[in-house]
């Protein structure tokens, strides 16, 4: 944990803070597809992502999901922090997109470190800034983009996060993430295939030219 924490956050945090995190943090390895946080749960610690990627989703009153953003190496989740500080129940669902490693930091240390370490305070503010920008991008996508544009944007981001052009999600899973129907997604994917931009296979699709 020490080496991975130093490699991931040593350029952000001072040595004393790194040592404090080592003292109280809990190292976890999360397999792809594992649900790390559920809507309605109380949040007892916040994650520092060492490697991998976590997708963060919201759910409407009908149980349909919407992908908000991804957390990657060097990130933490501002929504988790807000729930921690206010002792509120989680309003998001977090699922490992790929095999991931992270360190869970107890909420009791968050306020202490905010006043004690300038690097931690800057990290928290930067995280809020980044997540707000990502949420605004999601809102813009829903408000101003057609579904075919949103799908292309989604596939590009998925490929970037997974570091490969193979997307192993089903049409239904993609529909869940984009808060639409499987029929719509299947139709648009078929159209992209006819344009030569993707290739559809039985259990996956391959990006050719997006």
May I ask the CATH architecture of the domain 2-143? Sandwich (2.60)
Give the whole-angstrom CA distance, residue 24 versus residue 8: 17
Give the whole-angstrom CA distance, residue 209 versus residue 188: 15
Quote the tokens at residue 127.
Answer: 């995280």
Average pLDDT on 183-194 reads 95
Average pLDDT on 30-48 reads 89
Q: What pLDDT score was predicted for residue 86?
A: 59
Residue 153 binned pLDDT confidence (cut-offs 50, 70, 90): very high
- What b/e string do you get for 10-37 counting C-beta neighbours within 10 Å, with b at 16 or more? eeebeeebbebbeeebeebebeeeeebb
Give the whole-angstrom CA distance, residue 187 versus residue 82: 39
- The CATH number of the structural domain formed by 146-207 is 1.10.10.10
Tell me: the pLDDT tens digits for 130-149?
A: 888 888 888 888 888 899 99
- pLDDT value at 59 more than 70: yes
Structural domain boundaries in the chain: 2-143, 146-207
- 151 with 125: CB under 8 angstroms? no
């Amino acid at each position: 944990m020490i080496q991975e924490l130093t490699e991931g956050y040593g350029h952000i945090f001072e040595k004393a803070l790194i040592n404090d995190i080592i003292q109280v943090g809990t190292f976890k390895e999360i397999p792809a597809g594992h649900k790390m946080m559920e809507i309605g749960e109380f949040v007892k610690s916040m994650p520092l992502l060492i490697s991998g990627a976590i997708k963060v989703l919201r759910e409407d009153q009908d149980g349909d999901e919407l992908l908000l953003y991804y957390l990657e190496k060097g990130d933490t989740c501002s929504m988790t922090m807000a729930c921690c500080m206010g002792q509120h129940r989680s309003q998001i669902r977090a699922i490992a997109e790929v095999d991931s490693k992270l360190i869970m930091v107890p909420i009791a240390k968050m306020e202490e470190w905010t006043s004690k370490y300038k690097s931690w305070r800057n990290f928290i503010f930067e995280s809020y800034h980044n997540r707000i920008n990502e949420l605004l991008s999601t809102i813009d996508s829903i408000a101003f983009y057609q579904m075919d544009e949103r799908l292309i944007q989604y596939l590009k981001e998925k490929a970037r996060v997974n570091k490969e052009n193979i997307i192993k999600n089903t049409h239904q899973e993609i529909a869940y993430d984009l808060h639409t129907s499987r029929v719509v997604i299947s139709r648009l994917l078929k159209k992209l295939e006819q344009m030569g931009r993707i290739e559809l296979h039985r259990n996956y699709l391959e990006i050719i030219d997006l």
